Amino acid sequence: MEVIEDSHLHLEVPDPHRSLTEISEDEINLPASDEEDEVTTENKAKVTDEKEEVGEGDKGEMNGVMVLALLDKIIGAVDQIQQTQAGLEARQREMDRSVTGIQGELTKLSKSHNTTANQREQNKTLNMNYKCTNKGFAKKNLGAFRYKLRGDWFSFAKVRKLCFL
């Protein structure tokens, strides 16, 4: 089979690295400029001339070439979709790993928080016991200190009596 190369039948295969640009509805509905009108009329004239030149057998080959070109374009689009899907799946796996790591860190943090809370409760209990014990010792020491002062006073009084006798 002979390949027919025709400039108006050549279809663009999408470039995977080319980004799409956003076109507003105002740009779509703009009237064609004079230059564009001339180019489109010339292209239409060429196409009609070529159609008249092409015979019945050539039309079948041309249709076959168009079908092949469309199939190539579809294959390119499917390949691009598969690449995008593979990239999204890889990103999803990374996100799953990150979420698992964060969950592990949260578990460690909650255990640490519980340990800290238990230690704080023990510290409160210990402080209360210390305060109660300290008050008891303070009362006993105060009484002992008073007794000691009385004892010293009595011994001082005895010494005084001894001196004056």
- 15 belongs to a structural domain: no
What is d(CA 116, CA 110) in angstroms, rounded to the nearest whole number? 10
Whether the Cβ atoms of residue 65 and residue 7 lie closer than 8 Å to each other: no
Interior/surface letters 11-29, b for 16+ CB within 10 angstroms, e for the rest: eeeeeeeeeeeeeeeeeee
What residues contact residue 12 under an 8 Å CB cut-off, 6+ apart? Answer: 73
Mean confidence (pLDDT) of the chain: 72
- 137 belongs to a structural domain: no
Of residues 163 and 48, more confidence is placed in: 48
- 111 belongs to a structural domain: yes
- 161 belongs to a structural domain: no
- 41 belongs to a structural domain: yes
The reply to whether the predicted model has a pTM over 0.85 is: no
Specify the pLDDT at position 104.
94
Determine the structural domain holding residue 118 and report its residue range: 25-128
What residues contact residue 9 under an 8 Å CB cut-off, 6+ apart? Answer: 62, 65, 66, 69
Joined tokens for residue 153: 């006073």
42-95 pLDDT, tens per residue? 666 665 655 555 555 577 778 888 899 999 999 999 999 999 999 999 999 999
- 150 belongs to a structural domain: no
- 12 belongs to a structural domain: no
pLDDT at 156 over 60: no
Q: For residue 165, what pLDDT band results from cuts at 50, 70 and 90? A: very low
- 118 belongs to a structural domain: yes
Average pLDDT (124-133) is 80
Which among 82-86, 125-129, 143-147 has the top mean pLDDT?
82-86
State how many domains the chain has. Answer: 1
